[in-house]
Structure 1
Amino acid sequence: MSTRYAALLRGINVGGHRKVPMAELREVLEELGLSGVATYLGSGNAVFTSDSADERTLTRNLERAIERRFGFAVDCLVRDAAYLRSIADDCPFPAATLEARQLHVTYFSEGVDPERFSAIDRAAFAPEEFRLGDRALYLYAPDGLGRSKLADVLARPGLTKGIVATSRNWNTVLKLVELTTD
Protein backbone atom coordinates (compact mmCIF):
# COMPACT_ATOMS: atom_id res chain seq x y z
CA MET A 1 0.00 0.00 0.00
CA SER A 2 1.29 3.44 -0.90
CA THR A 3 1.55 6.29 1.57
CA ARG A 4 1.85 10.05 1.00
CA TYR A 5 4.68 11.77 2.84
CA ALA A 6 6.20 15.19 3.28
CA ALA A 7 9.94 15.71 3.51
CA LEU A 8 10.98 18.71 5.58
CA LEU A 9 14.53 19.85 4.90
CA ARG A 10 16.27 21.94 7.54
CA GLY A 11 18.27 25.08 6.88
CA ILE A 12 18.50 25.18 3.09
CA ASN A 13 18.26 28.14 0.71
CA VAL A 14 18.65 30.64 3.56
CA GLY A 15 20.74 33.72 2.84
CA GLY A 16 22.25 32.19 -0.28
CA HIS A 17 23.76 29.28 1.62
CA ARG A 18 23.27 25.54 1.16
CA LYS A 19 21.44 25.93 -2.13
CA VAL A 20 19.08 23.11 -3.03
CA PRO A 21 17.07 24.05 -6.12
CA MET A 22 13.59 22.56 -5.91
CA ALA A 23 13.76 21.11 -9.43
CA GLU A 24 16.89 19.19 -8.42
CA LEU A 25 15.30 18.09 -5.15
CA ARG A 26 12.39 16.65 -7.14
CA GLU A 27 14.93 14.77 -9.30
CA VAL A 28 16.64 13.38 -6.19
CA LEU A 29 13.32 12.11 -4.84
CA GLU A 30 12.37 10.55 -8.17
CA GLU A 31 15.82 8.88 -8.41
CA LEU A 32 15.05 7.26 -5.06
CA GLY A 33 12.05 5.60 -6.74
CA LEU A 34 9.45 7.84 -5.12
CA SER A 35 6.38 8.91 -7.07
CA GLY A 36 3.94 11.81 -7.09
CA VAL A 37 6.81 14.13 -6.23
CA ALA A 38 6.12 17.85 -5.80
CA THR A 39 7.77 20.70 -3.92
CA TYR A 40 6.26 23.62 -2.09
CA LEU A 41 8.06 26.94 -1.84
CA GLY A 42 11.83 27.09 -2.03
CA SER A 43 12.50 26.43 1.62
CA GLY A 44 12.70 22.65 1.65
CA ASN A 45 9.22 21.17 1.53
CA ALA A 46 8.55 18.20 -0.72
CA VAL A 47 5.79 15.63 -0.94
CA PHE A 48 5.89 12.16 -2.44
CA THR A 49 4.33 8.71 -2.42
CA SER A 50 6.17 5.57 -1.33
CA ASP A 51 5.36 1.92 -0.73
CA SER A 52 7.62 2.03 2.33
CA ALA A 53 6.10 2.53 5.76
CA ASP A 54 9.49 3.26 7.35
CA GLU A 55 9.95 7.01 7.87
CA ARG A 56 13.46 6.57 9.32
CA THR A 57 14.72 4.67 6.28
CA LEU A 58 13.10 7.16 3.91
CA THR A 59 14.77 9.98 5.86
CA ARG A 60 18.22 8.35 5.84
CA ASN A 61 17.99 7.57 2.12
CA LEU A 62 16.98 11.15 1.34
CA GLU A 63 19.74 12.65 3.49
CA ARG A 64 22.37 10.44 1.79
CA ALA A 65 21.06 11.26 -1.68
CA ILE A 66 21.08 15.01 -0.97
CA GLU A 67 24.65 14.87 0.33
CA ARG A 68 25.79 12.94 -2.76
CA ARG A 69 24.04 15.34 -5.09
CA PHE A 70 24.86 18.69 -3.46
CA GLY A 71 28.04 17.94 -1.51
CA PHE A 72 26.76 18.91 1.94
CA ALA A 73 24.64 17.32 4.63
CA VAL A 74 21.05 18.40 5.15
CA ASP A 75 18.98 17.21 8.09
CA CYS A 76 15.57 15.98 6.95
CA LEU A 77 12.38 14.79 8.53
CA VAL A 78 9.89 12.60 6.70
CA ARG A 79 6.33 12.48 8.04
CA ASP A 80 3.29 10.68 6.70
CA ALA A 81 -0.02 12.29 5.81
CA ALA A 82 -1.79 11.00 8.94
CA TYR A 83 0.83 12.56 11.23
CA LEU A 84 0.70 15.88 9.39
CA ARG A 85 -3.09 15.91 9.69
CA SER A 86 -2.89 15.14 13.40
CA ILE A 87 -0.49 18.05 13.97
CA ALA A 88 -2.97 20.44 12.33
CA ASP A 89 -5.98 18.91 14.11
CA ASP A 90 -4.31 18.88 17.53
CA CYS A 91 -3.19 22.50 17.50
CA PRO A 92 -3.67 23.82 21.05
CA PHE A 93 -4.17 27.39 19.83
CA PRO A 94 -7.25 28.79 18.03
CA ALA A 95 -5.65 28.55 14.59
CA ALA A 96 -8.80 29.54 12.71
CA THR A 97 -8.88 32.89 14.48
CA LEU A 98 -5.18 33.71 14.11
CA GLU A 99 -3.14 35.07 11.24
CA ALA A 100 -0.86 32.39 9.80
CA ARG A 101 2.22 34.46 10.66
CA GLN A 102 1.28 34.20 14.35
CA LEU A 103 1.40 30.41 14.54
CA HIS A 104 4.34 28.10 13.86
CA VAL A 105 5.13 24.45 14.34
CA THR A 106 8.60 23.08 15.01
CA TYR A 107 8.79 19.43 14.02
CA PHE A 108 11.21 17.23 15.98
CA SER A 109 12.89 14.02 14.87
CA GLU A 110 11.65 12.37 18.06
CA GLY A 111 9.52 13.08 21.08
CA VAL A 112 10.99 15.53 23.56
CA ASP A 113 10.84 15.51 27.32
CA PRO A 114 9.04 18.63 28.56
CA GLU A 115 11.87 18.96 31.08
CA ARG A 116 14.03 20.33 28.24
CA PHE A 117 11.94 23.49 28.32
CA SER A 118 11.34 23.77 32.07
CA ALA A 119 13.93 26.54 32.60
CA ILE A 120 12.03 28.91 30.30
CA ASP A 121 10.11 31.52 32.27
CA ARG A 122 6.95 31.37 30.19
CA ALA A 123 5.36 34.35 31.94
CA ALA A 124 8.29 36.56 30.91
CA PHE A 125 7.32 36.11 27.24
CA ALA A 126 3.54 36.59 27.49
CA PRO A 127 1.47 36.92 25.41
CA GLU A 128 3.76 34.67 23.39
CA GLU A 129 3.54 31.02 24.36
CA PHE A 130 4.42 27.53 23.29
CA ARG A 131 3.01 24.08 23.83
CA LEU A 132 4.42 20.66 23.09
CA GLY A 133 2.67 18.13 20.88
CA ASP A 134 3.56 14.79 19.31
CA ARG A 135 7.19 15.30 18.18
CA ALA A 136 6.30 18.96 17.70
CA LEU A 137 6.23 22.33 19.39
CA TYR A 138 3.50 24.87 18.66
CA LEU A 139 4.50 28.53 18.99
CA TYR A 140 2.04 31.39 19.23
CA ALA A 141 3.83 34.66 18.43
CA PRO A 142 1.23 37.45 18.05
CA ASP A 143 3.72 39.87 16.45
CA GLY A 144 5.16 37.25 14.11
CA LEU A 145 8.27 35.11 14.24
CA GLY A 146 10.66 37.91 13.29
CA ARG A 147 9.76 39.88 16.41
CA SER A 148 9.39 36.93 18.75
CA LYS A 149 11.71 36.90 21.75
CA LEU A 150 10.38 33.48 22.73
CA ALA A 151 11.28 32.05 19.31
CA ASP A 152 14.87 33.20 19.85
CA VAL A 153 15.01 31.35 23.17
CA LEU A 154 13.40 28.22 21.73
CA ALA A 155 15.95 28.19 18.89
CA ARG A 156 18.94 27.95 21.23
CA PRO A 157 21.01 24.88 20.36
CA GLY A 158 20.86 23.44 23.86
CA LEU A 159 17.10 22.98 23.72
CA THR A 160 17.25 20.82 20.62
CA LYS A 161 20.59 19.11 21.26
CA GLY A 162 20.64 15.62 19.82
CA ILE A 163 17.51 15.96 17.71
CA VAL A 164 16.59 17.46 14.37
CA ALA A 165 14.20 20.41 14.61
CA THR A 166 12.74 22.39 11.73
CA SER A 167 9.96 24.98 11.81
CA ARG A 168 7.13 25.87 9.46
CA ASN A 169 4.53 28.63 9.58
CA TRP A 170 0.86 27.70 9.81
CA ASN A 171 0.20 28.25 6.10
CA THR A 172 2.89 25.70 5.28
CA VAL A 173 1.58 23.28 7.92
CA LEU A 174 -1.85 23.37 6.27
CA LYS A 175 -0.47 23.23 2.73
CA LEU A 176 1.54 20.09 3.55
CA VAL A 177 -1.64 18.49 4.89
CA GLU A 178 -3.42 19.40 1.66
CA LEU A 179 -0.58 18.14 -0.56
CA THR A 180 -0.40 14.79 1.23
CA THR A 181 -4.15 14.16 1.29
CA ASP A 182 -5.36 11.85 -1.46
Structure 2
Amino acid sequence: QYLAAIDVNASVAIKYKTDDPKLQSILKTIQDSASYLRNVTRSQLRSLKPPGLETVGLSAAIEDLISQWQMSFPQYEININIEVDDRLVDYDTALTVYRCLQEALTNITRHAEAHKICIDLVTQNKSVQGNDISLTIRDDGKGFDPNEAMGKGLGLIGIRERVHALNGLFKLHQAEPTGSVLTLNIPL
Protein backbone atom coordinates (compact mmCIF):
# COMPACT_ATOMS: atom_id res chain seq x y z
CA GLN A 1 0.00 0.00 0.00
CA TYR A 2 2.93 2.35 0.62
CA LEU A 3 4.27 1.64 -2.86
CA ALA A 4 0.85 2.41 -4.32
CA ALA A 5 0.81 5.70 -2.39
CA ILE A 6 4.28 6.62 -3.68
CA ASP A 7 3.18 5.79 -7.22
CA VAL A 8 0.00 7.90 -6.95
CA ASN A 9 1.80 10.84 -5.35
CA ALA A 10 4.50 10.76 -8.03
CA SER A 11 1.81 10.66 -10.74
CA VAL A 12 0.08 13.69 -9.25
CA ALA A 13 3.38 15.56 -8.88
CA ILE A 14 4.31 14.85 -12.51
CA LYS A 15 1.09 16.55 -13.66
CA TYR A 16 2.08 19.84 -12.03
CA LYS A 17 3.69 22.12 -14.55
CA THR A 18 7.29 22.90 -13.77
CA ASP A 19 10.11 24.41 -15.74
CA ASP A 20 12.64 22.13 -14.10
CA PRO A 21 13.20 19.07 -16.34
CA LYS A 22 15.42 17.49 -13.67
CA LEU A 23 12.50 17.47 -11.22
CA GLN A 24 10.20 15.85 -13.80
CA SER A 25 12.87 13.24 -14.48
CA ILE A 26 13.30 12.50 -10.77
CA LEU A 27 9.54 12.17 -10.27
CA LYS A 28 9.28 9.83 -13.26
CA THR A 29 12.11 7.71 -11.84
CA ILE A 30 10.30 7.52 -8.48
CA GLN A 31 7.09 6.48 -10.22
CA ASP A 32 8.86 3.84 -12.34
CA SER A 33 10.68 2.47 -9.28
CA ALA A 34 7.47 2.23 -7.26
CA SER A 35 5.71 0.44 -10.14
CA TYR A 36 8.60 -1.97 -10.52
CA LEU A 37 8.64 -2.77 -6.78
CA ARG A 38 4.86 -3.32 -6.78
CA ASN A 39 5.23 -5.83 -9.62
CA VAL A 40 8.10 -7.64 -7.87
CA THR A 41 6.13 -7.74 -4.62
CA ARG A 42 3.05 -9.07 -6.42
CA SER A 43 5.18 -11.77 -8.06
CA GLN A 44 6.76 -12.78 -4.73
CA LEU A 45 3.36 -12.98 -3.05
CA ARG A 46 2.10 -15.12 -5.93
CA SER A 47 4.98 -17.54 -5.37
CA LEU A 48 4.19 -17.77 -1.65
CA LYS A 49 0.47 -18.29 -2.02
CA PRO A 50 -1.06 -18.98 -5.41
CA PRO A 51 -3.78 -16.45 -6.21
CA GLY A 52 -7.30 -17.77 -6.26
CA LEU A 53 -6.50 -21.33 -5.27
CA GLU A 54 -9.04 -21.22 -2.44
CA THR A 55 -11.55 -18.87 -4.05
CA VAL A 56 -11.69 -19.74 -7.75
CA GLY A 57 -10.26 -23.25 -7.63
CA LEU A 58 -7.37 -25.19 -9.06
CA SER A 59 -8.39 -24.88 -12.72
CA ALA A 60 -8.38 -21.08 -12.73
CA ALA A 61 -5.20 -20.91 -10.63
CA ILE A 62 -3.42 -23.24 -13.10
CA GLU A 63 -4.65 -21.20 -16.06
CA ASP A 64 -3.33 -18.05 -14.37
CA LEU A 65 0.03 -19.72 -13.62
CA ILE A 66 0.42 -20.79 -17.25
CA SER A 67 -0.65 -17.38 -18.52
CA GLN A 68 1.90 -15.63 -16.28
CA TRP A 69 4.58 -18.13 -17.27
CA GLN A 70 3.88 -17.65 -20.99
CA MET A 71 4.36 -13.91 -20.62
CA SER A 72 7.87 -14.59 -19.35
CA PHE A 73 8.59 -17.39 -21.84
CA PRO A 74 6.63 -16.69 -25.05
CA GLN A 75 8.96 -18.87 -27.15
CA TYR A 76 7.30 -22.08 -25.90
CA GLU A 77 4.28 -23.64 -27.58
CA ILE A 78 1.97 -24.90 -24.85
CA ASN A 79 -0.96 -27.26 -25.32
CA ILE A 80 -3.22 -27.39 -22.28
CA ASN A 81 -6.01 -29.77 -21.41
CA ILE A 82 -7.75 -29.09 -18.08
CA GLU A 83 -10.74 -31.24 -17.16
CA VAL A 84 -10.97 -30.76 -13.41
CA ASP A 85 -13.97 -30.85 -11.12
CA ASP A 86 -12.66 -28.27 -8.63
CA ARG A 87 -15.22 -29.35 -6.03
CA LEU A 88 -13.41 -32.68 -5.65
CA VAL A 89 -9.97 -31.18 -5.01
CA ASP A 90 -9.09 -30.15 -1.44
CA TYR A 91 -6.67 -27.29 -0.77
CA ASP A 92 -3.62 -29.45 0.08
CA THR A 93 -3.99 -31.48 -3.11
CA ALA A 94 -4.58 -28.34 -5.19
CA LEU A 95 -1.50 -26.69 -3.71
CA THR A 96 0.59 -29.80 -4.40
CA VAL A 97 -0.54 -29.97 -8.03
CA TYR A 98 0.07 -26.23 -8.45
CA ARG A 99 3.57 -26.38 -6.95
CA CYS A 100 4.49 -29.48 -8.93
CA LEU A 101 3.47 -27.84 -12.21
CA GLN A 102 5.34 -24.69 -11.20
CA GLU A 103 8.52 -26.69 -10.52
CA ALA A 104 8.15 -28.73 -13.71
CA LEU A 105 7.87 -25.55 -15.81
CA THR A 106 10.95 -24.16 -14.07
CA ASN A 107 12.88 -27.35 -14.83
CA ILE A 108 11.82 -27.28 -18.48
CA THR A 109 13.00 -23.70 -18.93
CA ARG A 110 16.31 -24.36 -17.18
CA HIS A 111 17.27 -27.76 -18.55
CA ALA A 112 15.11 -29.22 -21.32
CA GLU A 113 15.87 -27.05 -24.35
CA ALA A 114 12.26 -27.78 -25.37
CA HIS A 115 9.99 -26.01 -27.82
CA LYS A 116 6.65 -27.64 -27.03
CA ILE A 117 5.02 -28.47 -23.71
CA CYS A 118 1.81 -30.47 -23.27
CA ILE A 119 -0.04 -30.24 -19.96
CA ASP A 120 -2.95 -32.53 -19.08
CA LEU A 121 -4.75 -32.04 -15.76
CA VAL A 122 -7.76 -34.28 -15.21
CA THR A 123 -9.91 -35.47 -12.34
CA GLN A 124 -11.17 -39.02 -12.86
CA ASN A 125 -13.79 -41.17 -11.23
CA LYS A 126 -12.41 -44.67 -10.95
CA SER A 127 -15.61 -46.22 -9.56
CA VAL A 128 -14.30 -48.76 -7.07
CA GLN A 129 -11.04 -46.96 -6.22
CA GLY A 130 -12.66 -43.52 -5.95
CA ASN A 131 -11.64 -40.24 -7.56
CA ASP A 132 -8.15 -39.05 -8.38
CA ILE A 133 -6.41 -36.18 -10.07
CA SER A 134 -3.77 -36.72 -12.72
CA LEU A 135 -1.19 -34.23 -13.99
CA THR A 136 0.95 -35.11 -16.99
CA ILE A 137 3.59 -32.77 -18.39
CA ARG A 138 5.37 -33.68 -21.63
CA ASP A 139 8.10 -31.73 -23.38
CA ASP A 140 10.02 -32.25 -26.61
CA GLY A 141 13.37 -31.30 -25.11
CA LYS A 142 16.66 -33.14 -25.04
CA GLY A 143 15.52 -35.62 -22.40
CA PHE A 144 17.60 -37.05 -19.57
CA ASP A 145 18.20 -40.13 -17.49
CA PRO A 146 15.46 -39.98 -14.82
CA ASN A 147 17.63 -41.83 -12.29
CA GLU A 148 20.43 -39.29 -12.69
CA ALA A 149 18.10 -36.29 -12.65
CA MET A 150 16.53 -37.28 -9.33
CA GLY A 151 19.85 -36.93 -7.55
CA LYS A 152 20.97 -33.58 -9.00
CA GLY A 153 18.60 -31.13 -7.39
CA LEU A 154 15.82 -30.74 -4.90
CA GLY A 155 13.10 -29.79 -7.40
CA LEU A 156 12.17 -33.27 -8.62
CA ILE A 157 12.74 -34.75 -5.18
CA GLY A 158 10.40 -32.10 -3.76
CA ILE A 159 7.73 -32.95 -6.32
CA ARG A 160 8.03 -36.67 -5.56
CA GLU A 161 7.87 -36.10 -1.79
CA ARG A 162 4.83 -33.79 -2.05
CA VAL A 163 3.00 -36.38 -4.15
CA HIS A 164 3.97 -39.29 -1.89
CA ALA A 165 2.83 -37.33 1.18
CA LEU A 166 -0.68 -37.42 -0.33
CA ASN A 167 -0.43 -41.16 -1.12
CA GLY A 168 0.03 -40.38 -4.79
CA LEU A 169 2.15 -41.84 -7.55
CA PHE A 170 5.07 -40.05 -9.19
CA LYS A 171 6.46 -41.18 -12.55
CA LEU A 172 9.24 -39.64 -14.58
CA HIS A 173 10.49 -41.10 -17.84
CA GLN A 174 11.88 -40.22 -21.24
CA ALA A 175 9.41 -39.42 -24.00
CA GLU A 176 9.62 -40.87 -27.48
CA PRO A 177 11.32 -39.73 -29.65
CA THR A 178 12.73 -36.99 -27.38
CA GLY A 179 11.87 -35.12 -24.23
CA SER A 180 10.49 -36.17 -20.89
CA VAL A 181 7.18 -37.04 -19.28
CA LEU A 182 6.27 -36.31 -15.67
CA THR A 183 3.05 -37.89 -14.39
CA LEU A 184 1.41 -37.45 -10.99
CA ASN A 185 -1.68 -39.29 -9.77
CA ILE A 186 -3.14 -38.28 -6.42
CA PRO A 187 -6.21 -39.87 -4.84
CA LEU A 188 -8.98 -37.46 -3.89
TM range (shorter): under 0.3
Please, what TM-score do these two structures have when normalized by structure 2? 0.26
Report which structure shows greater RCO (CA 8 Å, sep ≥6). Answer: 1
